[in-house]
């Protein structure tokens, strides 16, 4: 049985006060035991959030990480910095990082390796553009993104990896992939893992769907056999919506 996971991707939203009030609402809610809930406050709010949630099961994760371990790299955050404040997971490869900050597969591979080497777990995102889908190239694109970044992963490290399929055309657009489209890609990804790392690993890795998940579409998407949860952007900023999505399992 794979874990059921719902992670909120808060992006560059919520100052200190807003973070605190959102956490308060989530913290006081009794979630079902079998769903792992994660939130990703900005770097400036991470430590406070970890402390705030210390008596809760909600996991605090980071949104980005340097590909380097330490040194003269102004503005960067290392895995050990995150670990030292109690953060043990980071999102890598989000399409906004790829598109607006020129994060290439080559750089993402370094970030993945840096995280794993320093015992930081990850959520790795990938997904095709609308033009790729229109040209029926979505599988080719995803295959490339996975092969260029994850092919050298050591088998035991898969215990520390969550994948997130996020079709770029569905992120923040209100246009979600249909449950069938999500399932089709998730199955493709699971087969990719099976071919390269074996059946056991493929059956164990959680694959989340991300892209305009909301309280109305979550349960149909989450009910697909190879969808193990969601990475939620906009709707994770609204406590009631996020709670409803988590309860959609």
Q: C-beta of 242: minimal distance to ligand PGA in Å? A: 10
Q: C-beta of 74: minimal distance to ligand PGA in Å? A: 27
Nearer to ligand PGA, 127 or 201 (CB): 127
Active-site residues, by number, are 94, 166
Q: How far apart are CA 119 and CA 58, in angstroms?
A: 19
- Three-state DSSP class for 227? coil
179-to-176, 182, 195, 211, 226 alpha-carbon distances in Å: 9, 5, 24, 12, 10
Nearer to ligand PGA, 91 or 115 (CB): 91
Identify whether the C-beta of residue 39 lies closer than 8 Å to the C-beta of residue 26.
yes
Identify whether the C-beta of residue 50 lies closer than 8 Å to the C-beta of residue 60.
yes
**Where does this chain bind ligand PGA (CB under 6 A)?**
9, 166, 171-172, 210-213, 231-235
- The neighbour count for residue 148, using CB atoms within 10 Å, is 14
Q: C-beta of 10: minimal distance to ligand PGA in Å? A: 10
Nearer to ligand PGA, 197 or 210 (CB): 210
Nearer to ligand PGA, 9 or 78 (CB): 9
Q: Round the CA-based radius of gyration of the chain to a whole number and report it.
A: 17
- The neighbour count for residue 118, using CB atoms within 10 Å, is 14
The residue at minimum Cβ distance from ligand PGA is 233
Q: C-beta of 236: minimal distance to ligand PGA in Å? A: 7
Pick the closest to residue 221 from 189, 163, 172, 176 (CA basis): 176
């Amino acid at each position: 049985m794979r874990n059921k996971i719902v992670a909120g991707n808060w992006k560059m939203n919520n100052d200190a006060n807003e973070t605190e009030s959102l956490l308060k609402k989530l913290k006081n809610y009794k979630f079902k035991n079998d769903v792992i809930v994660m939130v990703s406050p900005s770097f400036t709010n991470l430590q406070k959030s970890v402390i705030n949630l210390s008596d809760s099961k909600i996991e605090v994760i980071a949104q980005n990480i340097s590909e380097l371990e330490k040194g003269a790299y102004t503005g960067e955050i290392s895995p050990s910095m995150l670990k030292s404040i109690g953060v043990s997971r980071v999102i890598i490869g989000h399409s906004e990082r790829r598109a607006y900050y020129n994060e290439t597969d080559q750089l993402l591979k370094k970030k993945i390796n840096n995280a794993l080497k320093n015992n930081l777990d990850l959520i790795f995102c990938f997904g095709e553009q609308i033009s790729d889908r229109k040209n029926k190239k979505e599988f080719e694109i995803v295959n490339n993104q996975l092969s260029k970044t994850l092919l050298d992963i050591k088998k035991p490290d898969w215990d520390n990896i969550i994948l997130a399929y996020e079709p770029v055309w569905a992120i923040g657009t209100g246009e979600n992939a249909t449950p069938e489209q999500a399932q089709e890609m998730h199955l493709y990804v699971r087969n990719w893992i099976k071919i390269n790392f074996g059946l056991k690993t493929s059956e164990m890795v959680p694959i989340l769907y991300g892209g305009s998940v909301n309280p109305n579409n979550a349960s149909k998407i989450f009910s697909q056999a190879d969808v193990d949860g969601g990475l939620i952007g906009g709707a994770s900023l609204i406590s009631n919506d996020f709670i409803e999505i988590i309860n959609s399992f």
